[in-house]
Amino acid sequence: MMKKSTYVNLKLAVAGAVLAANLASPQAHAEGSKNLTPGTGTRGTATGANNFVGYLQHDDGGNSQISSSSKGFLKPDSDLLERLYIHVRPGETLYYGVRRINAGNNNTRLRLELKRGNGNNNNTITTYLSPASGTNLNNATLAVAAGVINTPEEAAIGPKYQGGTAPAGGYTPLTYTNTTNAAQDVWIEFEQVELTGNNPAVISSKSYYDCWDFTVRDSGGEKPGRLYSSAWSFSAGSFANQFATTFALYPLIPNPNFNNQSFFVKQVSYARMRPFGTLLTANKFGTGVDGTDYKLRRKSQPTSALSLGYAEYKMFVNDPDNAVYPSTIPPNSPTITTTCTGTAPNRRTVFNLAVDQAGFGLIFIDGNNSGTYEATADRVLEGTTRISNTANVFEWDGTTDSGARVPAGNISLVFSSGVGPVNFPMYDCEAADEAGITVRSVRPGNNNGFIDFLFYDDTNLDPNFSTPIRNPIGDNTPSGSHKWGRPGLESGPLSGDTKTINSYAVGLLAQGKVLNVAYDGSGCILTTPVVLVQPLPVSLTHFGAALQKDGVRLNWETATERNNAYFAVERSADGRNFEEVTRVAGSGTSSQNRRYATLDPAPLAGASYYRLRQVDTDGAFNYSPVAAVSNEGRGVATLFPNPATTEVKILFANPLSGPVDIQIMDAAGRVVWQEHREQAGNNRQLDVPTAQLPANSLYFVQVRNGGDAKVYRFSK
């Protein structure tokens, strides 16, 4: 069974990864196209490893057409699930702007409306962005004004939020400040309208936007993870173009076991797909909402299923803000027992799953021990589960999915149990032949970028549409991604045209295998109870790094280990690019507490970051949280008091002079306080307020004085 401490440490692992990213890049200034398509300067090519294709769009076919690839996305009076929302808390400010690159050859104004509440006139902020004078490409370029992003470089830097003048090189934004006492989900609407007039006529035309930004900030810094829609529409601009290799969204999957108030978060990659225009959604029911057979509802469809509607889950461009959308509690490992019933030759094997969270169960009977699914040799049993030790029963009669009887001999079993189903229907994506769809877990837990199990069923389509045409047992390797449109299959590179193609995953999946199980050929398997293993093979309960006279001492502890070959200690100067320092042998498989320690005798000068890469005997690996160490030599600083109450004092060996930027980050890497100061040349001490911080927490204070940032840890 999964221990509570395991869950805590999985959360710490995620927090460490987020912290490392924030320490490495403390001045993020934008949320929008920068996350999906961050390309700047020379834009490169639209195929291969490009980083700019994936254009926000509206009016692709009209929002009233079933065959539309954008439906009502971004449009006035659209369905609630088709709006582009930004979550803004009291006192926070939204900064926003766009760059238009195609307006359907209509030289029109762009009307942007920010709406809140019921969206009536009293709750709407309307801005008109005029086209640039003269002839410009596709009559799309907008004149320089607030709300217009002029270059990809401006988009990368973000809005000028410091009095409208800084940061240098950013764009001049439109703004909205929430002055109410309640959090708001405001939304933005786009419309092409006539060139003049206060109430101009609408000129609906398909339009693309390659740069767009909707950044939320308060006095403490940026609030990423606030921008979402349940139905995103994007275009690659042509059938030949591929989406950027950085193109991914973050679906928010509620856990029904906790009243949908806590969440699983995934990252779904659409990298290198080739849709002229497509609609991206996520839901629990697949390609239709009618009927009760979930196996049928999750199948890909040969035509549009848009008339049924399949937008449901919120999808973000960043990991959703954990303060607003908290992580759920993962289920414990289920157990499974097997018994035989009946008499030969018509006996049956009864499998029973005991689970502590309701979801689904799947049993893959690999009749020929091939490790892959073949309907003529194998059987897949699946169904929903409920919280029970006895009620989740799956029966097998000894036949394959094609109806043939499995002969006596040794077979293999794969048991899966999951919580939080999620489907990713895509309408009208012509080709996904390069990378396909892949899904990764973000939280809770820590898969560290490992590919998650992905399933699909394309049997409603051409027999050669995908290979295999159905994957009911899931695959978590790059080669197992869901691909279509490969040359020579069905209609070649446009095989996804006007089809609704579905891939599905699960919020959290526990999976275990039993190989070479004795089977008597009559439908009876005799085996001992099986415990499904957790995704992580090692439960890390502590990892720390401390500067000593002889170097940096690293120590860590584990509660359990499974097939643990070794730990590789990795070090980084920036929290982003790591290199291996040394290795320490693991304990193989162990259920006892184990302690480890090693020394880095030649640590880097200044700030450095350490992590563990835990490697299994089969080569699979996971990362630990990141530990920061400051090694300033003679310039080392002293921080006191620690734990803090109302403030901490940082005393430096040498005086600070000039501009100093100070940030406090919580254990999840979020900036919770920041300040810019000008230091006199004789001042060796910084007084940093901490009264505003919640107690019983760990914090990191970062000090930047011209050069590299220095990070110090304290608690309150």
**Structure confidence by residue, pLDDT tens digits, 101-119:** 988 777 789 999 999 988 7
Which of 307-316, 488-497, 502-511, 689-698 shows the lowest per-residue confidence on average (mean pLDDT)?
Answer: 488-497
At 448 the pLDDT is: 45
More confident residue, 531 or 629: 629
Q: Environment class of residue 3 by beta-carbon count within 10 Å: exposed (0-12), middle (13-18) or buried (19+)?
A: middle
At 113 the pLDDT is: 96
Rounded to whole angstroms, how far apart are CA atoms 701 and 684? 16
At 306 the pLDDT is: 53
Read off the pLDDT band of 447 (50, 70, 90). very low
Read off the pLDDT band of 2 (50, 70, 90). very low
Read off the pLDDT band of 81 (50, 70, 90). very high
Q: Is pLDDT at 387 greater than 50 in this prediction?
A: yes
At 12 the pLDDT is: 32
Q: What percent of the chain has pLDDT over 70?
A: 87
Which of 55-59, 325-329, 393-397 shows the lowest per-residue confidence on average (mean pLDDT)?
Answer: 325-329
At 708 the pLDDT is: 63
Mean pLDDT of the 495-509 span? 88
* 628-674 confidence digits (pLDDT tens): 787 765 345 667 777 888 888 887 767 778 888 898 887 767 778 88
At 558 the pLDDT is: 82
- Give the 3-state secondary structure of residue 17: helix
Q: Is pLDDT at 277 greater than 80 in this prediction?
A: yes
Determine contact, residues 328/258, Cβ cutoff 8 Å.
yes
Query: Architecture of domain 637-715 in CATH?
Result: Sandwich (2.60)
Q: Is pLDDT at 607 greater than 80 in this prediction?
A: no
Would you state the structure tokens that stand for residue 263, as one six-digit string?
Answer: 């969440």
Domain 539-631 annotated CATH 2.60.40.10: yes
Q: Is pLDDT at 341 greater than 80 in this prediction?
A: yes
Q: Residue ranges of the domains in the chain? A: 25-246, 247-536, 539-631, 637-715
More confident residue, 166 or 135: 166
Would you state the structure tokens that stand for residue 442, as one six-digit string?
Answer: 């973000």
* 126-144 confidence digits (pLDDT tens): 999 999 987 676 778 999 9
* 194-247 confidence digits (pLDDT tens): 988 888 998 888 899 999 999 999 988 899 999 999 999 999 988 888 999 999
Tokens 């006996």, residue? Answer: 347
Quote the mean pLDDT of the chain: 83
Name 190's Cβ contacts closer than 8 Å, sequence gap at least 6: 58, 74, 75, 110, 111, 112, 207
Rounded to whole angstroms, how far apart are CA atoms 200 and 444? 49
Determine contact, residues 181/237, Cβ cutoff 8 Å.
no
Mean pLDDT of the 285-305 span? 82
Does 637-715 match 539-631 at the fold level?
yes
Residue type, 165: T
Determine contact, residues 634/591, Cβ cutoff 8 Å.
no
Please choose, from the candidates 570, 465, 574, the residue with its C-alpha nearest in 3D space to the C-alpha of residue 19.
574
Please choose, from the candidates 83, 97, 91, 79, the residue with its C-alpha nearest in 3D space to the C-alpha of residue 33.
97
At 146 the pLDDT is: 96
Determine contact, residues 244/50, Cβ cutoff 8 Å.
yes
At 26 the pLDDT is: 37
Determine contact, residues 34/466, Cβ cutoff 8 Å.
no
Q: Is pLDDT at 531 greater than 60 in this prediction?
A: no
Q: Is pLDDT at 19 greater than 50 in this prediction?
A: no
Pairing of strands 606-616, 248-254: unpaired
Q: Is pLDDT at 529 greater than 60 in this prediction?
A: no
Q: Is pLDDT at 345 greater than 80 in this prediction?
A: no
Mean pLDDT of the 525-540 span? 57
Buried b / exposed e over 300-333, threshold 16 CB at 10 Å, is bbeebbbebbbbbbbbbbbbbbbeebebbbbbbb
